[in-house]
Amino acid sequence: MQIEKSDALFTFRIEARQGRARAGVFTTPHGDLPTPIFAPVGTQATVKAVTPAQLSELGAHLILANTYHLYLRPGEKLVAEMGGLHHFMNWPKPILTDSGGFQVFSLADNRKIDEDGVTFKSHIDGSLHRITPEKSIAIQEDLGADIIMAFDECAPPTDRAYNERALARTHAWAERCLRAKTRPDQALFGIVQGGVFPDLRQQSAEFMASLGFPGHAIGGLSVGESKEEMHAMIEVVDAVLPQEKPRYLMGVGTPVDVVQGVLRGVDIFDCVLPTRLARHNAAMTRSGRLNLVNAAYARDARPIDEQCACYTCQNFSRAYLRHLIISREMLAATLLSIHNLYTLLQLVREIRQSILEGRFESFAGQFLEKWGQAEFSSVMQDASS
């Protein structure tokens, strides 16, 4: 089955390659995306604690919004009535929505999967809901993002039997999503699953490639497997997926994960890490998390990072940020989100430039040496985005 109807609006032009890494441009109805790219996460139609104007100043192009959350609140029909997500949240640049699959499967005891779809209880009020592949596409069409995702099942990464069953469903559902899709101004990406099993990943990548999606996502990673397993899975998939289409590594990740992903042919990343760390009073630096609540920073007149050009680092001391945190002032989350988002957005800009200039491999080597020990993941288990 080949469905090409939406491809005309979406072209992917690779401008330079180095090793597996690529620098490209993905065109969408709301503007061009320079790749590699990092998408800040706006779960509930807002990237937490920052305005669209601030996001734009940070140089963000693509943002991600969550179908599960927006379906429950305010409801996709309301968003559609308000002119769609771009207009509703005042983000005129490209938006990507996930399928709701990952969030629904995260509900654990509060959801039930069958071959046709998933029934689940709302985390807001316990009400019962059902999402099928067709429903996921219908919601995403109402939301109106530029890039939308096939409804998939994200299985525990190391359970072989579970992954085999889930993969069969994910593949069947991908075909149903393609058939259900009606809007030509949205690019539907298929999602490769398969846990930590190379043969399943290969099989899934081959299947998704055969369906003719304009782009592909790699799902089910950064969910508990080792870094080595994650890297190995990306490599398997990279070898199979068509080179001329963009690849999106879902929910990843740390600065190091982003560099490791680009080294393995990934073009698009998203992660809640920068904004979530910010709300936990942590700044991202080359030496890892800098927890600004720490008394050591009470009289520290330095910015978070003396090399950083973000608004926060140009204008505020660690002592001031700590004061805001201790005083429970909202500005703390805003200023830390600005710094952390800038860190990721600036990183992908530097990666892209280094690919264009043919020096990505040395850039990556130096970067991994400097940031290799930086540890950001411990806060990632927390509940909210």
The answer to whether 331 contacts its own copies (rule: CB under 8 A) is yes
The answer to whether 55 contacts its own copies (rule: CB under 8 A) is no
Q: Which residues are catalytic?
A: 98, 270
> Rounded to whole angstroms, how far apart are CA atoms 30 and 9?
10
The answer to whether 156 contacts its own copies (rule: CB under 8 A) is no
Which of 8, 82, 168, 293 binds its own copies (CB under 8 A)? It is 82
> Rounded to whole angstroms, how far apart are CA atoms 283 and 338?
10
Burial of residue 268 (CB within 10 Å: 0-12, 13-18, 19+) is: buried
**C-alpha torsion 190→56→27→256, nearest 10:** -50
Shortest gap between Cβ of 73 and its own copies (angstroms)?
6
**C-alpha torsion 300→305→311→316, nearest 10:** 0
The answer to whether 326 contacts its own copies (rule: CB under 8 A) is yes
The answer to whether 293 contacts its own copies (rule: CB under 8 A) is no
Footprint of its own copies on residues 90-119 (CB under 8 A)?
90
The answer to whether 302 contacts its own copies (rule: CB under 8 A) is no
**Mask for 241-270, x = binds its own copies (CB under 8 A):** ------------------------------
Asked whether 67 and 143 are in contact (CB, 8 A), the reply is yes
Which is nearer to its own copies, 26 or 316 (by Cβ)?
316
The answer to whether 298 contacts its own copies (rule: CB under 8 A) is yes
Span from 179-187, 199-207, 253-261, 313-321 in contact with its own copies (CB under 8 A): 313-321
Which is nearer to its own copies, 259 or 313 (by Cβ)?
313
The answer to whether 212 contacts its own copies (rule: CB under 8 A) is no
The answer to whether 294 contacts its own copies (rule: CB under 8 A) is no
Shortest gap between Cβ of 65 and its own copies (angstroms)?
12
Instruction: Give the angle 128-134-140 at the CA atoms, nearest 5°.
Output: 85
Asked whether 260 and 361 are in contact (CB, 8 A), the reply is no
Shortest gap between Cβ of 49 and its own copies (angstroms)?
5
Q: Which residue has the tokens 């920068």?
A: 274
Which is nearer to its own copies, 248 or 320 (by Cβ)?
320
Question: What's the Cα-to-Cα distance from 148 to each of 7, 62, 197, 343, rounded to whole Å?
Answer: 13, 12, 26, 26
Span from 108-116, 125-133, 198-206, 308-316 in contact with its own copies (CB under 8 A): 308-316
The answer to whether 89 contacts its own copies (rule: CB under 8 A) is yes
The answer to whether 2 contacts its own copies (rule: CB under 8 A) is no
Q: How do strand 282-285 and strand 288-291 relate by DSSP bridges?
A: antiparallel
> Rounded to whole angstroms, how far apart are CA atoms 385 and 368?
26
For residue 14, what are the β-bridge partners? Answer: 24
Which residues, at least 6 apart from 382, have a Cβ–Cβ distance to it below 8 Å? 276, 280
Which is nearer to its own copies, 56 or 353 (by Cβ)?
56
Span from 171-179, 207-215, 257-265, 314-322 in contact with its own copies (CB under 8 A): 314-322
Q: Is the peptide bond before 36 cis (omega within 30 degrees of 0)?
A: yes
The answer to whether 122 contacts its own copies (rule: CB under 8 A) is no
The answer to whether 80 contacts its own copies (rule: CB under 8 A) is no
The answer to whether 88 contacts its own copies (rule: CB under 8 A) is yes
The answer to whether 309 contacts its own copies (rule: CB under 8 A) is no
What is the total count of residues that contact its own copies (CB under 8 A)? 39
Span from 6-14, 41-49, 198-206, 363-371 in contact with its own copies (CB under 8 A): 41-49
Helix/strand/coil for 152:
coil
Which of 317, 346, 353, 377 binds its own copies (CB under 8 A)? It is 317
Shortest gap between Cβ of 124 and its own copies (angstroms)?
9
Q: Is the peptide bond before 74 cis (omega within 30 degrees of 0)?
A: yes
For residue 37, what are the β-bridge partners? Answer: 268
Q: Which residue type is seen at 348?
A: V
Asked whether 208 and 174 are in contact (CB, 8 A), the reply is yes
Q: How do strand 187-192 and strand 147-149 relate by DSSP bridges?
A: parallel
User: What element of type H or E holds 276?
Assistant: helix 273-279
> Rounded to whole angstroms, how far apart are CA atoms 135 and 205?
24
**Binding positions for its own copies, rule: CB under 8 A:** 44-46, 48-54, 73-74, 78, 81-83, 88-90, 298-299, 301, 311, 315-317, 319-320, 322-324, 326-327, 329-331, 333-335
